[in-house]
Structure 1
Amino acid sequence: MGKNRIPHKSDKKRGKKEITKSIVNFFNSNSADSFSHKQIVEKIGLKKPVEKEIVANVLYNLLEDAFIVETAKGKFKSNNRGLFLEGIFERRSNGKNFFVPDGDAEDSHIFIAERNSEHAMDGDRVKVQMLAKRKGRAPEAEVVEILERKRTTFVGVLDVQKHFAFLVMDSKFLANDIFIPRENLKGGKDGDKALVEVVEWPKKAKNPIGKVIDILGLAGENNTEMNAILAEFGLPYKYPAKVEAAANKIPDAIPEEEIARREDFRNTLTFTIDPRDAKDFDDALSIKHLDNGNWEVGIHIADVTYFVQEGDIIDKEAESRATSIYLVDRTIPMLPERLSNNLCSLRPNEDKLCYSAVIEMDDEANVKNYRILRTIINSDRRFTYEEAQDIIETGEGEYKDEILKLNDLAKRLRAKRFKDGAIAFDRHEVRFEIDEKGKPLSVYFKYAKDSNKLIEEFMLLANRTVAEFIGKVAKNKNPKTFVYRIHDVPNAQKMENLSEFIRRFGYKIKVDGTKTSVSKSINHLLDEVSGKAEENLISTIAIRAMAKATYSTVNIGHYGLAFDYYSHFTSPIRRYPDMMVHRLLTRYMDGGRSASKQLYESKCEHSSDMEQLAASAERASIKYKQVEFMSDKLGQVFDAVISGITEWGLYAEIDENKCEGMISIRDLDDDFYEFDEKNYCLRGRRKKRVYSLGDPITIKVARANLERKQLDFALVE
């Protein structure tokens, strides 16, 4: 058969001219995306090694001719000369502005000179025209229209002159101070920190013109600085009086007819376990030994949506905030205090309304049955994590049998999760001991102990049970619209990078295979690095390789927890998605039709965005306190580890307190250092000295800039 095979026309070797034509046609038909050499070879159907070599040559020529551009190393894209594109404008205070086109997964940054920026601000949605490509130069564009402003408010310090003022900012997103006419000062004085709105930026003017929205206080004061961090991220730093007033009108008493509608758990042993300083107890556990030998565990969650009606003033405010925010020294609640710390908080010896997942399990923690229902409880005891931990460790204390049983069941649930491929990111949290003025006195680390894990396991179980209750349907049926907490599989390229990075420390990891085998390999790595100098560094890079968990109506499961169905049901006092879940449960349990997927998807997106902003503000507040904590330690010497490498220098983290600072490349003056991105290192050109991620070094604290939340270190040889 082989001898008599009819030659296929694709067997004929294709020459350079034909291949060039195919590639040009391919890029003209796919002008929006970037492609690698390998992808191009596949798409135009080449098989022979000699043809693949021709492709490399053709791509080089097309680059030279500026027909295509290289968007990232080894990725090519049509140059789109003269084309109009829409996307996001990125402003930098060093004058290097960039444009990122829509739908470009490769983050191709197109340069926009200041004169061509139309005064677009960072994050604005803009329309640009590609400029004619000059040989040997990167592609450039010009902003032709600002489609949507991302932000118009900025935080800075007022410099007040006789007839006008400026808002002086230390922002990497705006190099120009904001000009403020005297009448727009709103009582602001020289040296005040203020929130200012840009009202216009005339074409010929160097500075935008603004007006003061709010005076945050005197720069440097703790309250001012914490509020400034919130304002910088566009987050609320005070509660609207009219929302507080609406909450204060909600009656305390629970009507008898409401109690009659609910299952009564007031005579079942119930308690809360929370942090020492918590006031908003949104979950409680009950436990009962059943006649059949099994255990009934009630996971009782504050029934916030009984008090907050959909679309009312409190609900609108909660939806807009989407989450409580936890800064170093304060909580900015999602709900008014009357609800979060009083009406909804599951305080001991008070009748409280709950949404409950009541789960029957055997001694091995196998779930035999469950019910989701509205209940009334009366908590017998409020434990702190420390008190519950003490009972777990000593076997002595009030309700010891119940706590020890719950701990045993939790450990079995946890073991099962890890067997199924859950990932154990148990990272320590940086905490500060703070005086009454907000000054940090010391740094300590918070680790999760068995009492924390006990609560965590039952909350995970409730969240999973609720998601399965709605999401798991018969094969030929569509599940109703629901809010899921989803977590995608890790990015393959990031996993490759992680694998390459940890190899230098002598560790290995699986980057492909089944989901479970990859996650088990990540767990093995985290176990191996536990307690070692490089632990924090490797676990940080491993976390960066993971996708971010988000909210969505499209369920893809939760990779990190190894759950096919997962939701957020257990924290409605501090998270709006949990309130959405409670409402959808009520709707469906009452026989209601499926809610609008489109509406809930947009609510999910908003909640995910706000969660990211809140996390960024929390990190900024920790950074601020770290800089403040180190500001009286100038000149002191510490052992540290290199925690980051960039083209502008090294980042180092002090071993004893995890405060991070930067050593500028300018200060590495013994050689000319080059940044090797692939190998996470700086390499000296002459002496070949290498600074790698994870290397131990000795540093001296050189400068502490609170305004920039930045520590500068100097190397000590």
Structure 2
Amino acid sequence: MKKSKNNGARRLKKRELQQKIMEFLLKQNKQSFNYKQIAFAIEATNPQSRLDIINLLDELVAAEEIQEVGLGKYKAFSNRGTENVGVFVRRSNGKNAVVIDDEQIMVAERNSMHALNGDKVRVMVSAARAGRDPEAQVIEILEAKDQVFIGTLKVDKTYSALVTDSKFLAADIIIPRNKLKGGKSGDKAIARITCWKDDEMNPRGEVVDILGRKGENTAEMHAILAEFGLPYKYPENVEKAADKIDAGITPEEVAKREDFRNVTTFTIDPRDAKDFDDALSIRQLANGNWEVGVHIADVTHYVRPGSVIDKEAQKRATSVYLVDRTIPMLPERLSNGICSLRPDEEKLTFSAIFELDSKANVVNSRIGRTAIRSDRRLTYEEAQEIIERVAAGEKVEETDADGRRNFPREICVLNELARQLRRRRYDAGALEFDRAEVRFEIDETGKPVSVYFKESKDANKLIEEFMLLANLTVAESIGKVAKGKKAKSFVYRIHENPNPEKIGNLALIASRFGYKVATEGRAKEINKSVNRLLKDVKGKGEENMLSILAIRSMAKAVYTTDNVGHYGLAMDYYTHFTSPIRRYPDMMVHRLLAKYADGGRSVDKLKLEDECRHSSDMEQLAANAERASIRYKQVEFMQDRLGEIYDGVISGVTEWGFYVELTDSMCEGLVPVRDLADDYYDYDEKSYCLKGRRHGNVYTLGDMVKVQVARADLDRKQLDFALISDSGNPNRPLEQRKPGKRNEPSKPKGRGKGKRRK
């Protein structure tokens, strides 16, 4: 019998065998194999070849070309030694990387092809070598992300450039003089990169827009918006389209609606609000029950699908609330005028009407288009004063000194109904987050002059409770269908169950302060234990830290067509219906309600899901911009307080230091680890703490400390503090809390001179 000439019948050369092993393992980089499986896969069945495979596998492991993941089980390093596609991550500190399948691989600048942050790139990833991490080399930029950079112009006789504020780009952008768009040295500007040659250190670009002088309030606020890709001005054609809208309300239109113009109706909003998109009406029925109407501005009556106003609103998806201004989703003629439910003006609304008994049980409800006339615009403070005075037994007059009606009976009835709704919601397992928000008093130049805290009181909660009820009822009206029937496509606001690991971390940290948080069991029981924690920490040093940790342990709420319920609210159905002036998903909900009420067919779910995803993304960007504006004002506020000493609490711990939130202003700053000169500190990620190797000092979340304001960097929006003393965590042993030699005030240290600490 003639011998076969296939690979199994002959002994393969070592180089050929190694190549086949590597090719096979790289193609199967998610799985591991023993030597027999590898031999079979590469058709090396010759007994001597099998022996060679065993030896080669050991050599490849020793050379860190492959890894042994179990006894006799081998696999390739993920994404190594092959071409892959990933997303480029550029950092101003030079630590560039490419993200492939959630794995981050370093890219040296010389191997980056000057890819920008977010670019889709093709890379060649090297195999790991002994003592070295793998590296990637960009070989092609597949999709360049459209992006701009914000910074300050530097213009002189021989040189013009944008010195960027970006954490994604270290190099200045060279700007030819004919591309400055009239910008001068010291102007805050937006620029785009037009060219970056391989042999040049700096990219070249052009100015897109001039924002104003560096340091001027409006220029800096617009720079924050531009940083997150958010609009800072309204297109002229959209404004003109809004100006052409007829605000008149005809008798024919009112006749199509339920008329509430003669029912007691009022708005309760923040004192500086201009867009009033919700109002409450109340009247007692013949059977003694109360009819409460939640009336929402009928924005979609005026904004037609596909119009220039609608397209702009859809793109923005949300109004943006910075420290000192609102960037509206809709043109001001609509948001502050036609659609705003101002007092003594007839308005068109979309309403959820409830009949409630004395126990706040919903006896009946209906949803439909209405017409209203608000009797009074109340601020939260005015409504709260009425509630408190009545509770104290004082008589509140029906009209005030200006002749405006106060509605003391109606407000107190609504407040009592809201209390019962809220109590029932918490009994069902809803979470009770009630953290004060920091606010700034701003002078005419935009400079913060003082800090105050915005707290949610009964008047705020009254409005919140009826908005929640309306949103729940609207979601149920579409999503809750008879068994065997399929619900029509709809927009839901969902909040998924928290990550068990994060709840476990919260429970661990809380236990160090003597609190217990349930980590297993039904969602209702876990939420009740979290609520109990939030109640027990009220007014204590660890309150802020533990409430932040509790919030961080939760998933983010998003918009989607796939309803899974709202964990935080303990509701099986929930949507956003009550703020169409400032949220595009609410406009989507209004349109879907109207369409389905008229017998319309279910809309395209995939298209609706894309719109939901965009709205969720824009909501997150808006939240990031709001936080950035708060950080900017905090740093600006503390600039005049350099060298002053404050009490604070450790609010975050990282490998580069710990963050301290000041007790009296909630301003947050970093104590850099390099400035802790008494020891070498290691970061314990699981315990959220820094531990000193020599003296055993521990800095952990919730520790009370005394700090000195050392640096205030407006460009980076960062405060640096110098540690003065550590009061510590009373639940930690005293020997771990005592600071080394840090009881004497220290002078702020300069940047870059301290010893780098891990």
How does the TM-score come out when normalised to structure 2? Answer: 0.84
> Residue 175 of structure 2: SS of its match in structure 1?
strand
Shift of 1:653: 1.2
1:506 corresponds in structure 2 to 514
Change (3 A) 1:520 1:27: farther
Map residues 257-276 of structure 1 onto 2, 5 A cutoff: 257-276=252-271
Alpha-carbon displacement from aligned partner over 1:43-78 (angstroms, at most 9, x marks no partner): xxxxxxxxxxxxxxx99x9697443599xxxxx995
Q: Is the 8 A contact 1:423 1:520 kept in 2?
A: yes
Alpha-carbon distance in 1 for matches of 2:82, 2:600? 49
Map residues 622-637 of structure 1 onto 2, 5 A cutoff: 622-637=630-645
1:223 corresponds in structure 2 to 218
Q: Match of 1:299, as an amino acid?
A: V
Shift of 1:26: 13
Alpha-carbon distance in 2 for matches of 1:301, 1:30? 57
Q: Is the 8 A contact 1:69 1:79 kept in 2?
A: no
Q: Does 1:533 align with 2:541?
A: yes
Map residues 119-130 of structure 1 onto 2, 5 A cutoff: 119-130=114-125
How does the TM-score come out when normalised to structure 1? Answer: 0.89
1:701 corresponds in structure 2 to 709
Q: Does 1:389 align with 2:384?
A: yes
Q: Is the 8 A contact 1:227 1:237 kept in 2?
A: yes
2:491 corresponds in structure 1 to 483
Alpha-carbon displacement from aligned partner over 1:101-140 (angstroms, at most 9, x marks no partner): 24x3xxx322121122221212223332322221232232
2:531 corresponds in structure 1 to 523
Change (3 A) 1:162 1:599: same
2:163 corresponds in structure 1 to 168
What is the aligned-residue RMSD (CA, Å)? 2.2
Shift of 1:233: 0.9
1:363 corresponds in structure 2 to 358
Q: Match of 2:236, as an amino acid?
A: A
Alpha-carbon distance in 2 for matches of 1:511, 1:622? 34
2:682 corresponds in structure 1 to 674
Q: Does 1:303 align with 2:303?
A: no
2:4 corresponds in structure 1 to none
> Residue 194 of structure 1: SS of its match in structure 2?
strand
Alpha-carbon displacement from aligned partner over 1:504-557 (angstroms, at most 9, x marks no partner): 212221112111111111111111111111111111111111100011011111
> Residue 555 of structure 2: SS of its match in structure 1?
coil
Query: Which of these residues, 232, 235, 238, is aligned with residue 230 of structure 2?
Result: 235
1:9 corresponds in structure 2 to none
- Percent identity, aligned pairs only, is 62
Map residues 144-543 of structure 1 onto 2, 5 A cutoff: 144-395=139-390, 396-397=396-397, 398-543=406-551
1:45 corresponds in structure 2 to none
Alpha-carbon displacement from aligned partner over 1:465-495 (angstroms, at most 9, x marks no partner): 0000000112212111111101011011111
Alpha-carbon distance in 2 for matches of 1:658, 1:189? 37
Alpha-carbon distance in 2 for matches of 1:664, 1:63? 39
Q: Does 1:67 align with 2:66?
A: yes
Alpha-carbon distance in 1 for matches of 2:76, 2:325? 48
> Residue 157 of structure 1: SS of its match in structure 2?
strand
Alpha-carbon distance in 1 for matches of 2:423, 2:79? 54
Alpha-carbon distance in 2 for matches of 1:342, 1:543? 36
> Residue 191 of structure 2: SS of its match in structure 1?
strand
Map residues 15-26 of structure 1 onto 2, 5 A cutoff: none
Map residues 28-177 of structure 1 onto 2, 5 A cutoff: 31=29, 65-68=64-67, 78-102=77-101, 104=102, 108-177=103-172
Shift of 1:81: 2.4
Alpha-carbon distance in 1 for matches of 2:67, 2:595? 54
Shift of 1:677: 1.4
Alpha-carbon distance in 2 for matches of 1:177, 1:537? 39
Alpha-carbon distance in 2 for matches of 1:263, 1:89? 56
Q: Match of 1:94, as an amino acid?
A: N
Q: Match of 2:307, as an amino acid?
A: D
Alpha-carbon distance in 2 for matches of 1:69, 1:687? 39
Q: Match of 2:552, as an amino acid?
A: R
Alpha-carbon distance in 2 for matches of 1:668, 1:403? 55
Change (3 A) 1:459 1:117: same
Alpha-carbon displacement from aligned partner over 1:137-176 (angstroms, at most 9, x marks no partner): 2232222333333342010000113254111023221111
2:18 corresponds in structure 1 to none
Alpha-carbon distance in 1 for matches of 2:449, 2:181? 36
Shift of 1:633: 0.7
> Residue 530 of structure 1: SS of its match in structure 2?
coil
Alpha-carbon distance in 2 for matches of 1:472, 1:63? 61
> Residue 635 of structure 2: SS of its match in structure 1?
helix
Map residues 559-598 of structure 1 onto 2, 5 A cutoff: 559-598=567-606
Q: Is the 8 A contact 1:534 1:694 kept in 2?
A: yes
Q: Match of 2:344, as an amino acid?
A: N
Change (3 A) 1:183 1:505: same
Gaps of 5+ in 2: 1-21, 33-56, 70-74, 391-395, 398-405, 725-742, 744-758
Change (3 A) 1:317 1:417: same
Alpha-carbon distance in 2 for matches of 1:601, 1:529? 40
Q: Match of 2:369, as an amino acid?
A: R
Is 473-482 or 548-557 further displaced after alignment?
473-482
Alpha-carbon distance in 2 for matches of 1:507, 1:33? 43
1:656 corresponds in structure 2 to 664
> Residue 678 of structure 1: SS of its match in structure 2?
coil
Alpha-carbon distance in 2 for matches of 1:68, 1:306? 64
Change (3 A) 1:33 1:444: farther
Alpha-carbon distance in 2 for matches of 1:378, 1:63? 80
2:754 corresponds in structure 1 to none
Change (3 A) 1:84 1:482: farther
Alpha-carbon distance in 2 for matches of 1:158, 1:244? 31
Q: Is the 8 A contact 2:64 2:128 kept in 1?
A: no
Is 355-364 or 503-512 further displaced after alignment?
503-512
How many residues are matched?
Answer: 662
Q: Is the 8 A contact 1:123 1:151 kept in 2?
A: no
- The structure number with the bigger radius of gyration is 2
Shift of 1:183: 0.8
Is 704-713 or 108-117 further displaced after alignment?
108-117
Q: Match of 1:137, as an amino acid?
A: R
Gaps of 5+ in 1: 1-23, 35-57, 71-75
> Residue 548 of structure 1: SS of its match in structure 2?
coil
Shift of 1:97: 1.2
Is 141-150 or 690-699 further displaced after alignment?
141-150
Q: Is the 8 A contact 2:88 2:121 kept in 1?
A: yes
Change (3 A) 1:77 1:466: farther
Alpha-carbon displacement from aligned partner over 1:658-683 (angstroms, at most 9, x marks no partner): 11111112211111112121211111
Q: Match of 1:412, as an amino acid?
A: Q
Q: Is the 8 A contact 2:684 2:691 kept in 1?
A: yes
Q: Is the 8 A contact 1:157 1:192 kept in 2?
A: yes
Alpha-carbon distance in 2 for matches of 1:486, 1:257? 38
Alpha-carbon distance in 2 for matches of 1:69, 1:228? 51
